[in-house]
Amino acid sequence: MALQTKEGPLFKYRNRLKGWEYRYFKLTKSYLHYYEAQHAPSPKQSLVRSEIASVSRCTSFPDKNHCFQLVSKSHDKWYMVANSESEMEHWIKALTAHIPDLPSFERSEPEKERLEEEETESASPTVPVPPLPQYMARLMNEMPPSYDDCVSKDS
């Protein structure tokens, strides 16, 4: 599956005081970057593409049309607004293309079946984890020494 790249302007929600700010976004095969302006020399922030957990329409800002949100695996949320409905859908599709278990706007039936087969084939039987050796279990329950215990009192 070829990952889509995309770039263009979006409004990004910063916080309650700053509100919405224009940013230029670039989605590469490995990263999502955003810049203060299109020709800015370096990104303000970047996110590794594989760290994107979900992308969906946003209902947190009912007064904003074409709003969508990105949630990272570390639970950071980015709220963005596109210029049109189709532009928003293009961004969502591009941002979710690498996430096999998220529904995509245009996934064909054969592709859905292939993904289900891959998931079934890759499911490995669960292997029981052996218990920790007794000395390790004791170490896990002990408190580490304090700073005072480590510093000699004669120095």
Tell me the per-residue pLDDT of 125-134, one tens digit each, with 9 for 90 and over: 555 656 656 6
Residue by residue, what is the 3-state secondary structure of 104-127? CCCCCHHHHHHHHHHHHHHCCCCC
Q: Which pLDDT score is estimated for 128?
A: 62
Run of H or E residues at 46: strand 45-48
Provide the mean pLDDT of the chain.
78
Q: Which pLDDT score is estimated for 101?
A: 55
Residue 89 near residue 106, CB atoms below 8 Å: no
Share of the chain above pLDDT 70, in %: 63
Please tell me the pTM assigned to this model: 0.62
Q: Which pLDDT score is estimated for 25?
A: 96
Order the strands of the 67-72 sheet from edge to edge.
45-48, 31-35, 19-27, 6-15, 77-81, 67-72, 52-57
Give the pLDDT confidence of 30-86 residue by residue, as tens digits: 999 999 999 999 999 999 998 999 999 998 888 899 999 999 999 999 999 999 999
Q: Which pLDDT score is estimated for 104?
A: 45
* Nearby residues of 44 by Cβ (< 8 Å), 6 or more positions away: 23, 34, 35, 36
Run of H or E residues at 77: strand 77-81
> Does position 106 have pLDDT exceeding 80, yes or no?
no
Residue 17 near residue 6, CB atoms below 8 Å: no
Categorize the per-residue pLDDT at 14 as very low, low, confident or very high, splitting at 50, 70 and 90.
confident
Q: What is the CA radius of gyration of the chain?
A: 23
Q: Which of 74, 72, 77, 43 is nearest to 59 (CA)?
A: 77
63 SS3 class: coil
Most trustworthy range by pLDDT among 1-10, 82-91, 117-126: 82-91
Q: How far apart are CA 89 and CA 66, in angstroms?
A: 9
Q: Which pLDDT score is estimated for 75?
A: 92
Least confident among 6-15, 39-48, 92-101: 92-101
